[in-house]
Amino acid sequence: MGQSIFDIHLDYTGSCYRPSPAVRKAMEDSVDMANFYPYEGYFELRQAIAGYSHVKPENVLVTNGCDEAIALVTYLFGQRVLIKAPTYSEFERIARGISSEIRIIKGSIRDSRYSIDFSKKDLDWATLAWVCSPNNPTGDIIPREKILDFAKNAKGIVAVDEAYYEYCGKSVADMVDKQKNLIVTRTFSKAYATEGIRLGYVIANPKLISALSNSTQEFNVNRTARAAGIAVFKSMGYYRKSMASLQRIKNSFEKGCTNMGLKVIDHNSPFTLVLFKSEKERNYFHAGLEKIGIYTLKNTHEEFTGFEDPCIRIAMGTKEQMVAAKNALEKLSKAYKKE
Amino acid sequence: MGQSIFDIHLDYTGSCYRPSPAVRKAMEDSVDMANFYPYEGYFELRQAIAGYSHVKPENVLVTNGCDEAIALVTYLFGQRVLIKAPTYSEFERIARGISSEIRIIKGSIRDSRYSIDFSKKDLDWATLAWVCSPNNPTGDIIPREKILDFAKNAKGIVAVDEAYYEYCGKSVADMVDKQKNLIVTRTFSKAYATEGIRLGYVIANPKLISALSNSTQEFNVNRTARAAGIAVFKSMGYYRKSMASLQRIKNSFEKGCTNMGLKVIDHNSPFTLVLFKSEKERNYFHAGLEKIGIYTLKNTHEEFTGFEDPCIRIAMGTKEQMVAAKNALEKLSKAYKKE
């Protein structure tokens, strides 16, 4: 295989489609007021998020990316943090940063699906239990009843990272007023293609929102991000089309993977997880792709906590990029079988 | 006095001049990569800040506004926080948000200048002592020798908020490698007219920078803010001229204030502090300005901690706005004398 001229970055999400023209224009227009604090505040944006999420503006705090939401929840409630592996590593990383006690329940997707079964003892111990649904990187949805059971039984906070909410439509955000220890974190990065502007939000009952607000900055989201967020809700048609197109690209890519004998994990996300039989096989595919400029993430990457199954995570790119990736995988499959 | 058609906001800094054309262009150009995480990282920006601050890139952490810098320092070190009033309220606000113990040393500028004299006992008690230099809102510079003495005698961290550094050129940033418990926080908001993009930074020894980095997000500054920050250093000529122009506007405004018998506090900042004889007099001037659409901050505003002297803080606007403000103050002065 020859060296490709252009690198194809399928290691992080964020290359598949671009923000809507309305979002781009709003961002450009925001530059004009760059020398003024975002003194108008975030009510308009919180109101739009609330409408979208079927909650009230008082249930919403906007954050500097979903990662700030995760950090704020950890700062306030993360003395003892409970995590089920394999999952997104930010829950663990930020907890380590502030010297929390951390309990990671091991897990493998080799012989079963990713699921969470926190014990009563674990929930008694934790001041903060994380649920990632759909889970990064496995894409599994944690059933609503299970999450609400955790929250009912927990002594501390149960926080649900719904960064990939738009890929499944399943949420517990509507329960935050009833279940007072439940927190939901979300992002504009994934479905709304604005990774570079850092915009996320927390949904929780007003008392928790107020406590979280007091531990972040009055102006924690800049003018450009705020403008983009507001404009997203005026471009829903555009994003529906973009997401449908992503789904078609993904279906076709995964069908190709399955046809060539690769094991693809079911998921609700903008990426494909390929599970190999051994680390040797995984390394062969990962290095083979990288050699021709196609970058993917190994399970050992710092993006993940406790991910021991030999996998690569392939984020969706454009149609052309995914055809290139499929063809490369096909050549690698044939070559690997011959070895 | 008639109602003015346009409100003049002199309550917050940020209306006097605009970002340079190069900064605006960089911000607009950044929109093109909005759907990619700022995966290139912050090294280029940290390098530029380091050069500007006469330190190494390892001494620099970029933050989501100076307020995030203040928050991170407080999260990590703010179990017991020491503050000298009157000063910027963010030190206190964020400490309250995470339930720190707080000791505020009272102070008045009525009969003397603002100064800080932390006792040995206070420095033994505090895990974090704040110095704001130049101080917001008084503009006073805390002498370098005094700050270094605090740091030498302190059991905890001594953090110096140099948000207004560019208005005096005096800094202790060069001492962070020698004095390991010294932290400096700064902003692009004031001198570089980018309040709306939220960009600040911490200067400290590499060990502290690493600890602070671990308690914030990997991508805590968005593409637009990063692009603006890098472009600022390519526009230093523009900003020198802008700051010189601000200084002329301010000198002329303050001369006018003094001529009409108002007491103006000396300062190194983009605002003017007017000290009145009574709260009644202060309210008369503050309300009188507001009535014609000129907004200023009273000492009782939430921007300040422990500011009991009857003052208004007037941020610099354009030449035309400051002439309007001066004329309005003159009318109010004459009217107040007649009462």
pLDDT for residue A12: 82
Residue of B nearest to A210 (CA): B97
- For B251, the token pair is 């000198």
| Other Cβ atoms closer than 10 A to B164 | 25
Chain B residues in contact with A65 by the CB 8 A cut-off are: 217, 219-220
CA distance A336 to chain B (A): 32
Considering only A300-309, B2-11, B15-24, which range has the smallest mean pLDDT? B2-11
DSSP annotation string for B234-248: T-HHHHHHHHHHHHH
The answer to whether the CB atoms of B18 and A30 lie below 8 A apart is no
Q: Per the CB < 8 Å rule, is B217 touching A68?
A: yes
Of the options 3.40.50.300, 3.90.1150.10, 3.50.50.60, 3.30.70.2610, the CATH number for the domain spanning B8-16+236-338: 3.90.1150.10
A101 vs A95: CA distance, rounded Å: 8
Closest-CA residue of chain A to B218: A67
For the stretch B131-149, pLDDT in tens is: 999 999 999 999 999 999 9
A36–B31 C-beta distance less than 8 A: no
Res. B111: pLDDT tops 90:
no
- Percentage helix, strand, coil for chain B under 3-state DSSP, each rounded to 5: 45, 15, 40
* Beta-carbon contacts of residue B61 (< 8 Å; ≥ 6 apart): B46, B69, B72, B201, B202, B204, B209, B212, B213, B216
A34 and B222 in contact by Cβ < 8 A? no
Overall pTM surpassing 0.80 (yes/no):
yes
C-alpha to C-alpha distances, A101 to A70, A104, A153, B232, B332, nearest whole angstrom: 16, 10, 20, 41, 61
Yes or no: is domain B21-232 CATH 3.40.640.10?
Answer: yes
Peptide linkage before A137 cis (omega within 30 of 0)? yes
What pLDDT shows up at residue A14?
63
Amino acid A301 reads: H
Residue of A194, A214, A215 with shortest CB distance to B34? A194
String of DSSP letters for A18-62: ---HHHHHHHHHHGGGTTS--TT-SHHHHHHHHHHHTS-GGGEEE
Cα separation values, A323 from A134, A294, A297, B117, B315, Å: 26, 12, 18, 68, 58
The SS3 call for residue B180 is: coil
Nearest-neighbour CA in chain A from B38: distance (Å): 5
Least Cα distance to A122 among A80, A185, A170, A176 occurs for: A80
How many CB atoms neighbour CB B338 within 10 A? 6
A197 contacts in B (CB within 8 Å)? 34, 222-224
The token pair that represents A125 in the structure block: 């111990």
Strand segments (E) across chain A = 8-9, 60-63, 80-84, 87-88, 101-105, 128-132, 157-161, 182-187, 200-203, 263-265, 271-275, 294-295, 297-298, 304-305, 311-315
Angle at A103 between CA A101 and CA A107, to 5 degrees: 160
Does an H or E element contain B83, and which? Answer: strand B80-84
CA A131 to CA A85: how far, in whole Å? Answer: 10
Neighbouring C-beta atoms of residue B264, cutoff 10 Å: 16
**What are the distances in angstroms from CA A243 to CA A140, A313, A320?**
19, 19, 16
Report yes or no: B281 and B269 within 8 Å, Cβ to Cβ.
no
The pLDDT value given to residue A1 = 37
Residues of B in contact with A28 (CB under 8 A): 28, 31
Residue recorded with tokens 């293609």:
A193
* B225: Cα separation from own chain's centroid: 18
In chain A, CATH 3.40.640.10 covers 21-232
Nearest to B120 by CA among B146, B160, B150, B83: B150
State both tokens at B299.
């000492």
Cα B330 to Cα B274: distance, rounded to the nearest angstrom: 13
Whether residue A31 and residue B28 make contact (CB cut-off 8 A), yes or no, is yes
Question: Which of A224, A242, A321 best probes binding to B when mutated, by most B CB atoms within 10 angstroms?
Answer: A224
**Nearest Cβ partner for B223 among A38, A76, A196:** A196
> Which residue in the set B67, B98, B219 is minimally distant from A75, CB to CB?
B98
Interface A-B: count of C-beta contacts within 8 A: 169
| Chain A nearest CA to B306, separation (Å) | 19
Give A135's DSSP letter: P
Q: Has residue B2 got a pLDDT over 70?
A: no
Q: Provide the pLDDT for residue B339.
A: 80
pLDDT category, B110, cuts 50, 70, 90? confident
Contact A266, A260 (CB under 8 A): no
Interface subset of B 24-43, CB within 8 angstroms of A: 24, 27-28, 30-31, 33-39
Mean pLDDT in chain B? Answer: 95
Give A292 to chain B, closest Cα distance, Å: 20
Considering chain A, tell me which residue range(s) the CATH 3.90.1150.10 domain(s) occupy.
8-16+236-338
The residues in A 194-213 lying below 8 A from B, measured between CB atoms, are 194-198, 211
> Which chain B residues are closer than 8 Å to A215 by Cβ?
71, 94, 97-98
- The predicted structure's pLDDT at residue B15: 65
Q: Using an 8 Å CB-CB cutoff, list chain B residues near A219.
A: 65, 67, 198
Chain A closest-CA separation from residue B126 CA (Å): 19
* Tokens (6 digits) for A309: 């199954």
Residue whose pair of structure tokens reads 């093109």 in the numeric block: B32
Q: Give the DSSP letter string of B101-168.
A: EEEEE---SSSS-------HHHHHH-SEEEEESSPTTT-PPPPHHHHHHHHHH-SSEEEEE-TTGGGT
CA dihedral B329, B335, B337, B339 (to 10 degrees): -140
Query: Rounded to whole angstroms, how far apart are CA atoms B61 and B202?
Result: 5
Instruction: Select from B64, B226, B304 the residue whose CB has the most chain A CBs within 10 Å, as the one to mutate to test that interface.
Output: B64
Model confidence over B270-292: pLDDT tens digits?
999 999 999 999 999 999 999 99
A94 touching B (Cβ < 8 Å) = yes
Query: B14 and A36 in contact by Cβ < 8 A?
Result: yes
Length of chain B in residues, anyone? 339
Contact B223/A15, CB-based, under 8 Å?
no
Along the 339 residues of chain A, how does pLDDT read in single tens digits? 334 457 898 998 766 789 999 999 999 999 999 999 999 999 999 999 999 999 999 999 999 999 999 999 999 999 999 999 999 999 999 999 999 999 999 999 988 889 999 999 999 999 999 999 999 999 999 999 999 999 999 999 999 999 999 999 999 999 999 999 999 999 999 999 999 999 999 999 999 999 999 999 999 999 999 999 999 999 999 999 999 999 999 999 999 999 999 999 978 899 999 999 999 999 999 999 999 999 999 999 999 999 999 999 999 999 999 999 999 999 999 999 888
Q: Is A235 on the interface with B (CB under 8 A)?
A: no
Residue of B nearest to A218 (CA): B67
Classify A41 in phi/psi space as left (phi over 0), alpha (psi -120 to 50) or beta.
left
Candidates A18, A35, A90: best to mutate against B (most CBs of B within 10 A) is: A35
Task: Return d(Cα B276, Cα B285) in angstroms, integer.
Answer: 9
Calculate the alpha carbon distances from A244 to A220, A241, A321, B21, B33 in Å.
32, 5, 17, 39, 22
pLDDT (0 to 100) of residue A15: 64
Q: What's the first-to-final CA gap in chain B, in angstroms? A: 17
- Provide the token pair at A95: 């907890």
A21-30 and A223-232 helices, crossing angle to 10°: 150
Q: B206-214 and B66-77 are packed helices; what angle lies between their axes, rounded to 10 degrees? A: 90
Integer Cα distance of A252 and A269 in angstroms: 15
List CB contacts (< 8 A) between B68 and chain A: 64, 217, 220
Instruction: Compare A113 and B51 and report the one with higher pLDDT.
Output: B51
CA separation, residue A186 to residues A49, A60, A63 (Å): 10, 11, 9
**Would you tell me the crossing angle of helices A206-214 and B90-97 to the nearest 10 degrees?**
140
Q: B22's torsion region: left (phi>0), alpha (psi -120 to 50) or beta? A: alpha
CB A193 to CB B34 under 8 A?
yes
Antiparallel, parallel or unpaired: β A128-132 and A80-84 = parallel
